[in-house]
Structure 1
């Protein structure tokens, strides 16, 4: 999943956007893992 997002960020204009997506994706994964651990 991360590699797909990084591969699509070939254009410099999209680097900031893709970086933001990576941050959101990592935070989302952390939250889902925490929720999964609580269940």
Structure 2
């Protein structure tokens, strides 16, 4: 259960980042940020 909760929190974190990136015009920097996040 704790693992599932951690995954859910991580997905929420990624969604928050994606929402911020899509509201930003600097897509290139955003893509680099997403790539670095995917490493974790």
Q: Which runs of 4+ in 1 moved over 3 A?
A: none
More helix by share: 1
Q: Which has the larger radius of gyration?
A: 1
For residues 2 and 12 of structure 2, what CA distance do their matches in structure 1 show? 15
5+ long unaligned stretches in structure 1? 1-14
5+ long unaligned stretches in structure 2? 26-40
The one of the two structures with greater contact order (alpha-carbon pairs below 8 A, sep at least 6) is: 1
Pairwise CA distance, 1:17: 0.3
1:21 aligns with 2:4: no
| Secondary structure in 2 matching 1:33 | helix
Length-normalised TM-score, structure 1: 0.61
